[in-house]
Structure 1
Amino acid sequence: MTTTHGTAPVLPLPPAAARAATAAGAAATLASTFLAWTWTDDFPGDLTVTGYPGGLQVLTLVGALLTALFAAAGYGFKGLRWLTPAGTTAPVLWLALGTLGTTWYTITAISVQLGGLANLEPGGWAAGLASLATLLATLGLPADRATEEEKPTGWQRFTGSLAATAARPAQALPSWAEILVIAASFGIGLYVFTYGIDTEYGELFIGYLILVGFAFGALHRAGLIGRLTALTAKHRNVTLAAAFAAAVCFPFTQTNDQYTSVATNILIFATVALGLNVVVGLAGLLDLGYVAFLGVGAYAAALVSGSSDSTIGVQFPFWAAVLTGAAVSLIFGVLIGAPTLRLRGDYLAIVTLGFGEIFRITMNNLNGSTGPDVTNGSAGIPNVPDLNLFGFDFGIEHTILGVPVGRFGNYYLLMLVVTAVVVLVFRRAGESRIGRAWVAIREDETAATAMGINAFRLKLLAFALGAALAGLAGTVQAHVTYTVTPEQYQFAGPVPPNSAFLLAAVILGGMGTLSGPIVGAALLYLIPAKMQFMADYQLFLFGIALILLMRFRPEGLIADRRKQLEFHETGQLDVPEQRLPEAAAGVGTAKAEA
């Protein structure tokens, strides 16, 4: 198998001239962010200041800086070669596209909000033209190294799979250095996430999404994501500890509870998505009414937590309320799963969808007129008191390590512990003999049954475990929101969590993986929360995003090896190239002995 460097650039420029033009364009784009882009501060971010970037200008500056950095790495600077282990051209194009997208989105937003292109200052025109020139210059860069069998043409040189790129062998690092790389990566990830969640207006958040999306694609095409994945797989315990430590630091970076409340709800959403991942991702059971188990846990906790509107009139300590919510959800999971899990596929999906609607309607009818007075009907159970755990009142502000942490910060830290418990349960279950049996049932239930696996019992166990994990999250949600109502637990709606968004979070993030549903849940909750000014179009944009995802990455954002092979069939044996000479030598030896 030979390799080639001979594919022609898209634009007829000498490689050296193309790299110089790319660097010059990136430098000009960066310089333009220090000029005024508009004459009035009516556009958010105050882009009228000369000499100091603000708002969306900062994103363009970061994009231009990264473009120049990766262009320099491809130019041959030895100190930067580690940035592009798998390719030098495609990452630069992705970053140039991200910078262009952010810049021209800003120009378009200024024109729409202020009434025309006449509201642009020379700095805005300079940024738009410089970012466009940078993109055009990248089209003259030579293609990355590729195999003869998968020679890219045109834009495929930049957008094709990493299989077509020959990555340089990774330099061996001592264990302490690998751990430092993991810790630094999570620190950068925390900063990027904090910046996104702290964006003060929708335009800045959209620009942030554009740049981060293309930057992630650039890092993937450069091979950095693959190398980081290899390090995290090698040091799994260190990775989990680093992720938990980075998450703990988040509330200490906030000055008020406005954005910490969003992060708290993201954790609730992510925890429930992990529970659904047991049912859908591991066992392969399509559950369309899963949000009902979250409601069961929330209602159980609200009834026994001392609410003045509770019809039971009891007050359990928090640990007892948690156990009550999880236990009641588990019992409901067994009661619903026992008669229905002998069904498969679409039939099971219809039954679980019906269960979700039955739960919501039943909670509405237990109002004292159409049924027993248990849940106060559509009014729900309000006035759920704040938690008081071992004398620590979650409803008031506390100073922790010299930093004031508000109510939502307290609940965020509590949900972080709950999420860690759910992650531990999911990880242990997935790696156990039962987890492997679930995967076997998901892949082929008939073959698994023929091999002696009791499919019904194991599916019922997955259903019950998933229900218990959802109920566990529901107990905390009841105290965070103060009120539990039936309308919070629908199949679909504009505000997550609901069954449709939970299922979408699992599929978007990557079914059967540990971090996939957490990433998917974070995106699906954060984006609607930060783009409320587009409320009339959110479901439309959500549908478009799902269509694009299913077309270009059906295995999800974070997929395991099995899903990647399933959705991207190559028709070739998955044999590492470096082992082919050894195999050929083995065949030659065998022939000689014969």
Structure 2
Amino acid sequence: MTTQTSAPETPGKTPTTQAGLIAIPPHLGRALATGGAVLTIISTFLAWTWTSAFPGDLTVYGYPGGLQVLVLIGGALTTLFCLASYGIKGLGWLTPAGPDGAIKFAALATFATSWYTVIAISADLGGVVNLEPGAYVVAIGSLAAFLGALSLPFEHPAPDPIDPDDTSWEHTRHKAAHKWETTKAAFTSSTPRPVGQLPAYAEILIIVAVLALGLTVFTYGIGTEYDELFVGFLITAGFGFAALNKAGLVAQASQITARHQNITICGAFVAAAAFPFTQTDDQYATLGVYILIFATVALGLNIVVGLAGLLDLGYVAFLGVGAYAAAMVSGSPSSPFDVHFPFWAAALVGAAASLVFGVLIGAPTLRLRGDYLAIVTLGFGEIFRITANNLDGTSGPDITNGSNGISSIPNLDILGFDFGVVHNILGVDIGRFANYFFLMLIITAVVVLVFRRSGDSRIGRAWVAIREDETAALAMGINGFRVKLIAFAVGASLAGLAGTVQSHVTYTVTPEQYLFAGPIPPNSAFLLAAVVLGGMGTIGGPLIGASLLFLIPNKLQFLGDYQLFAFGVALILLMRFRPEGMIPNRRRQLEFHEEAEAPTVLTKAGA
């Protein structure tokens, strides 16, 4: 066996190795991390406390439960990365980018979850006297693994061989070659097949495994039954994802899914459709349908912000316009119109109403740019809410019933399928919210299709040109006003389409549901955060970002007044360490991490 102490060297640059944070020889630190991780795994099969008063029942020997399962996962991940660092045959695929960074984050996930559990047991039950030997073993083992990981060396790329202050022609030539090669690498689709690339069927199996893992993690996270377990899940999932990213597995999975986009998208919808079948009641299917509504609206906003680069701070108003329009024509007794349209007609009314409002607001304002446009859209969002609140028959015409809203919106009935009753599908009882979940999944598929087709079209390329440099785009003959107005109209109509389903899911539409900011999404601030955090200009980014931004605040309600504080800290950390978003597109990844790829490109240019 050979010892692997650093990541593979990148052609064209020599990495500079720095010592770890702790003055322990790397080989001893790696052994300490491995031993600590193994000891942590063993501890999960021991009792951590003597009483079942702490949730999860950590009193059983030989069977991990509750938070012990998360610690077991973290310890196993740390052990695998440590074994891969020794060059054991068959484990090299685990760390294509080098094992040391992955070991650090995996050990941190294990240490943080273990010590959080030990401290929570002591705090909830009244002191360390309530700890059993397993708790002491996991505390010592996870600490040893973390200290051993900190002793591993850090590697940094060598500095740019070209002096940045040099203004000579040679430096200018290298800079131009670098920018050309970077751009070509980002947009060339006919790159040669890399040596050692897996066959197509193997890559499809990897996609299936990734989607199955995603469904498992999401189902586990949304189904956490008590607060301590959800906090532990956040710690393990967050640092675990960082470990996989440092190991290079996330980048490899992204490359594979990019080569099979159609299969990935179809597989993702199949995995999402399987979610209601994993639930025994509507408790978590309720969160699922709200997440889909929020995610679909965020994807519509991604057209405006991610593709066209228009900062819209009042986008949630278009969701409200669609919801109100659909509620008024869906047979509600509090509606001013005594009509009951079928769903397809109500959906068209909601989407058309939002489109009209998008054009009416965009036509006089889209000649503005940047902060000025953001202020105008923020004003539109507030105007919509105040207007809906005043159309109560007293301050204005009786159209929206003011603050009472439009209530008693009936359940949908499409071709005899009543969404308000329980149906048995494949032997599984599917309740009301699960029925709406499947309907919203179809709406999401439509929005994804519109986003993808429009993004790849001529108008989509014009949106990107406007986003990158509007002045240059105008100079090349693009009608900036028309292009931006189309983006505004398309994004608004997609939000209105989602609003038609939301009005039936919630039974009642009120102005307070459509604020700029608030503790619970959807609102304009959370929608914008979902697009930015998930990944601007991508399909999966806003969907994942919206899922996280809806799920986490709902699960952190036990923090009370500190809920938004903790949530804000999490957002700051995510933006600090992954500014391009959870699933970035290639262009934004190059913008934020261009310096890491520059030496390689310069070598190619100078060859």
| TM-score normalised by L of structure 2 | 0.89
2:125 maps to 1:89: no
Structure 1 partner of 2:475: 450
Q: Secondary structure at the match of 2:583?
A: coil
Q: Secondary structure at the match of 1:399?
A: strand
Structure 1 partner of 2:304: 279
Structure 2 partner of 1:396: 421
CA-CA distance at 1:251 after TM superposition:
0.7
Q: Secondary structure at the match of 1:79?
A: coil
For residues 261-410 of structure 1, the aligned pairs below 5 Å read 261-410=286-435
Contact persistence 2:16–2:158 (CA under 8 A): no
Contact persistence 2:319–2:495 (CA under 8 A): yes
Contact persistence 1:302–1:381 (CA under 8 A): yes
2:86 maps to 1:75: yes
Q: Secondary structure at the match of 2:47?
A: coil
- CA distance in 2 between counterparts of 1:444 and 1:389 reads 46
- CA distance in 2 between counterparts of 1:33 and 1:139 reads 23
Query: Deviation per CA, 1:231-283, whole angstroms, max 9, x where unpaired?
Result: 11111111111111111111111111101110110000000001111111111
2:592 maps to 1:567: yes
Q: Secondary structure at the match of 2:429?
A: strand
CA-CA distance at 1:192 after TM superposition:
1.0
Structure 1 partner of 2:61: 50
Contact persistence 1:330–1:467 (CA under 8 A): yes
CA-CA distance at 1:99 after TM superposition:
0.4
CA-CA distance at 1:7 after TM superposition:
4.9
Letter in 2 for 1:112: A
CA-CA distance at 1:417 after TM superposition:
0.7
Structure 1 partner of 2:7: none
Inter-CA distance 170–118: structure 2 relative to 1 (3 Å threshold): farther
Structure 1 partner of 2:8: none
Query: Deviation per CA, 1:298-343, whole angstroms, max 9, x where unpaired?
Result: 0111111111221211100000000000000000100111111111
Q: 534-543 vs 185-194, which deviates more?
A: 534-543
Structure 1 partner of 2:41: 30
Inter-CA distance 572–48: structure 2 relative to 1 (3 Å threshold): closer
Contact persistence 2:306–2:536 (CA under 8 A): yes
Alpha-carbon RMSD across the aligned residues, in angstroms, is: 2.0
Inter-CA distance 20–74: structure 2 relative to 1 (3 Å threshold): same
Task: Could you tell me which runs of 5 or more consecutive residues in structure 1 were left unpaired when the two chains were aligned.
Answer: 152-168, 585-594
For residues 3-42 of structure 1, the aligned pairs below 5 Å read 3=14, 7-42=18-53
Q: 340-349 vs 560-569, which deviates more?
A: 560-569
Inter-CA distance 176–87: structure 2 relative to 1 (3 Å threshold): same
2:87 maps to 1:62: no
Inter-CA distance 498–577: structure 2 relative to 1 (3 Å threshold): same
- CA distance in 1 between counterparts of 2:196 and 2:441 reads 35
CA-CA distance at 1:71 after TM superposition:
1.2
- CA distance in 2 between counterparts of 1:14 and 1:459 reads 59
2:420 maps to 1:420: no
Query: Deviation per CA, 1:458-503, whole angstroms, max 9, x where unpaired?
Result: 1111001000000000000001111111100011111100011111
- CA distance in 2 between counterparts of 1:112 and 1:571 reads 45
CA-CA distance at 1:190 after TM superposition:
0.7
Query: Deviation per CA, 1:21-74, whole angstroms, max 9, x where unpaired?
Result: 222211111111122212222221111222221111111011111111121122
Q: Secondary structure at the match of 1:404?
A: strand
Query: Deviation per CA, 1:197-227, whole angstroms, max 9, x where unpaired?
Result: 1110111011001101111111111111111
Contact persistence 2:21–2:150 (CA under 8 A): yes
- CA distance in 2 between counterparts of 1:50 and 1:100 reads 21
Structure 2 partner of 1:105: 116
Among residues 179, 190, 199, which one is paired with 1:174 in the alignment? 199
Letter in 2 for 1:212: A
Q: Secondary structure at the match of 2:488?
A: helix
Contact persistence 2:329–2:337 (CA under 8 A): yes
- CA distance in 2 between counterparts of 1:450 and 1:136 reads 58
Contact persistence 1:99–1:211 (CA under 8 A): yes
Q: Secondary structure at the match of 2:564?
A: helix
2:476 maps to 1:464: no
Task: Could you tell me which runs of 5 or more consecutive residues in structure 2 were left unpaired when the two chains were aligned.
Answer: 1-11, 162-193
- CA distance in 1 between counterparts of 2:370 and 2:152 reads 49
Structure 2 partner of 1:489: 514
Count of paired positions = 565
Contact persistence 2:333–2:408 (CA under 8 A): yes
Q: 247-256 vs 47-56, which deviates more?
A: 47-56
Q: 561-570 vs 243-252, which deviates more?
A: 561-570
Q: Secondary structure at the match of 2:283?
A: coil
Q: Secondary structure at the match of 1:129?
A: helix
Inter-CA distance 77–387: structure 2 relative to 1 (3 Å threshold): same
Contact persistence 1:201–1:530 (CA under 8 A): no
Structure 2 partner of 1:540: 565
Letter in 2 for 1:71: C
- CA distance in 1 between counterparts of 2:561 and 2:47 reads 33
- CA distance in 2 between counterparts of 1:520 and 1:242 reads 19
Query: Deviation per CA, 1:111-159, whole angstroms, max 9, x where unpaired?
Result: 2222333322222121111100111122344556x654489xxxxxxxx
CA-CA distance at 1:80 after TM superposition:
1.3
Structure 2 partner of 1:588: none
Q: Percent identity?
A: 66
Inter-CA distance 12–250: structure 2 relative to 1 (3 Å threshold): same
For residues 542-561 of structure 1, the aligned pairs below 5 Å read 542-561=567-586
Letter in 2 for 1:490: L
Q: 7-16 vs 396-405, which deviates more?
A: 7-16
CA-CA distance at 1:562 after TM superposition:
1.8
Structure 2 partner of 1:479: 504
| TM-score normalised by L of structure 1 | 0.91
Contact persistence 2:294–2:527 (CA under 8 A): yes
CA-CA distance at 1:83 after TM superposition:
0.7
2:246 maps to 1:221: yes
- CA distance in 1 between counterparts of 2:420 and 2:574 reads 40
